[in-house]
Chains A and B, each alone.
Chain A
Amino acid sequence: EDQVTQSPEALRLQEGESSSLNCSYTVSGLRGLFWYRQDPGKGPEFLFTLYSAGEEKEKERLKATLTKKESFLHITAPKPEDSATYLCAVPFQAAGNKLTFGGGTRVLVKP
């Protein structure tokens, strides 16, 4: 069964304190891994897609990396506005564009 697990569930950081979020998956034949940011009371906002092991994508203070078993979202020198829930998702094995989402990591960055 396709499964996506995110850790930690919650992360409290001081402004400027870099850290990493983990997304591990058990899906055969990965056809992409997606990272989203979700602010309270809003819908998820697309951040990155990664397709192959070794691939990296960057956006401002965020960098996503991918291995054969997991993905990391690195937050470098975070600011309070980086506070959000970060979700990762992978496509279902046998069903085209359907996604399986992890439970998310809630990040709080304190000034």
Chain B
Amino acid sequence: NAGVTQTPKFRILKIGQSMTLQCTQDMNHNYMYWYRQDPGMGLKLIYYSVGAGITDKGEVPNGYNVSRSTTEDFPLRLELAAPSQTSVYFCASTAVGEQYFGPGTRLTVT
């Protein structure tokens, strides 16, 4: 099992550009999550999904969109990137209880 994989590992965007962060899990988990982590801080939930076709907002959803067309994939879309979106983004999944995290995508918006 690869667990939770994320691509890309690093990305630099210019202000106003768009991109999609990819997340895939091979554990057949229903629940998937996107978090952002700013330097020296904990994790803040952006969006989550309880199953294919079902998504909902977390604490900090503004500027982001998600979709969940399959159990395995949960991409995060950034439209019109802003410097405030500079952060490390983590995807996670769970069946129940503890969540399993991917390695993260480090995004810089300049």
The interface of chain A, by Cβ under 8 A from chain B, is 4, 6, 32, 34, 36, 41-46, 49, 87, 89, 96-99, 101-104, 106
Contacts and interface: CB of A to CB of B under 8 A. Distances in A.
A43 B41 contact: no
B42 A42 contact: no
A26 to B, nearest CB: 15
A43 B90 contact: yes
Interface residues of B, number: 25
A44 B97 contact: no
Contact of B45 (A4, A98, A103): A98
12 contacts: A34-B97, A43-B4, A43-B102, A46-B98, A49-B97, A87-B43, A96-B31, A96-B50, A97-B94, A97-B97, A99-B45, A101-B35
A102 B42 CA distance: 6
B74 interface: no
B99 A103 contact: no
Contact of A98 (B42, B48, B98): B48
A46 B42 contact: no
Nearest to B33: A98
